[in-house]
Amino acid sequence: MDHRQLNTFTTVCRTRSITRAAAELGYSQSAVTSQVKSLESVLGVALFERRRDGVRLTAFGERFLPYAQRLLTLADEARGALHNNGALGGSLIVGAGESVTTYRLPALVEAFHHRYPDVRLSLRIFRDGRALNALERDEVDVCLLSAVDEPAGDFHRKDLGDDEVVLVAAPDHPLGRHTLITVADLAGCRFVIAQPDCLYARILAAEIGGAAEAALQFGTVEGVKRAVAAGLGVALLPRIAVADLVAAGEAVVLPWRAAAPARLYAVWTGKHEGSRELDALVTLMSRTSREDLRLVS
């Protein structure tokens, strides 16, 4: 297996599409397919299931993905170690919302600092939508956003993959006994949200309509999690945010899937295009966005 095969594999994983991966990498679709098949031949297993709506990792693919990401990261570190004049420095300011800052950025900052200790990262927390305004005003260098739609505007952007959202409830909630939950099953449920204008409240409102308008508000994602654990209602939150709650047995993930899933995006302006520090950060973002071991099934 070679670097190009591994890079193609991880890009297809992130985009969940041969077509989107080919467009991002600048390859033909046939070249992407050929590289994936060559990698599968080397490994002796199928890495993807081909579906009408794209591709999905097989169990072998899920098992192989973290190794592929580590190999690519190690290759980057090796190249940097061989070039004394290649050290990165300076500073970067990252803007993000509450849930991304709390549950994704700490691990990213730690990994980035380990690889590039001379680059100073600073974090800024914004309410939904306001991070892009700060980016336009040059108050931050890059935004890490969770959104249903690709961020609009005159920005450079990179799709980092799914930010899966799930419905969670206390373990003894009646919906926990269902094998599949529909919108009709949610009628009459009490919901809890952080703020009416937060992304997850908007997704919930789009999914179930007016029932979300009467939701209890708890201000922050952590406040919503505590309300769920106390049995005060059902919440729609990022899977990564509720991993600890589920692992502790204080909540369960309900068998339901959002019709409009959220995705993670790195967004920056043309002013920073070509910045080696920014390139290094965005590359690490794309490789770690699917790698967080705190995710729960």
Tell me, what's the pLDDT at 116?
86
Residue 82 pLDDT: 62
Residue among 13, 2, 21 at smallest CA distance from 49? 13
Q: pLDDT by residue (tens digit) across 139-174?
A: 888 888 888 877 777 788 888 888 888 999 999 999
Cα–Cα distances in Å, from 10 out to 108, 143, 168, 283? 18, 22, 29, 12
**Token pair belonging to 235:** 């919440």
Task: Name, of 32-41, 100-109, 201-210, the range with top average pLDDT.
Answer: 32-41
* pLDDT given at position 111: 85
25-74 pLDDT, tens digit per residue, is: 878 888 899 999 999 999 999 999 988 778 889 999 999 998 998 888 88
Phi, psi of 6 (to 5 degrees): -65, -40
| pTM to 2 decimal places | 0.65
- For the chain, list the domains and their CATH numbers: 3-81 (1.10.10.10), 87-163+262-288 (3.40.190.10), 165-253 (3.40.190.10)
282 vs 183: CA distance, rounded Å: 37
Please return the burial class of 24, using the count of CB atoms within 10 Å of its CB with bins 0-12, 13-18 and 19+: middle
Q: Quick one: pLDDT at residue 198?
A: 85
- How many other CB atoms sit within 10 Å of the CB of residue 70? 13
**What is the pLDDT averaged over residues 82-111?**
79
Tens of pLDDT, residue by residue over 273-294, are 778 888 888 888 877 655 453 3
**pLDDT level of residue 245 (50, 70, 90 thresholds):** very high
Q: Is 95:142 a contact under the CB 8 Å cutoff?
A: yes
| Encoded amino acid at 193, one letter | I
- At 213, is the pLDDT very low, low, confident or very high (cuts 50, 70, 90)? low
CA 8 from centroid of its chain's CA atoms: 19
**What are the tokens at 6?**
């591994």
User: 80 or 55: whose pLDDT is higher?
Assistant: 55
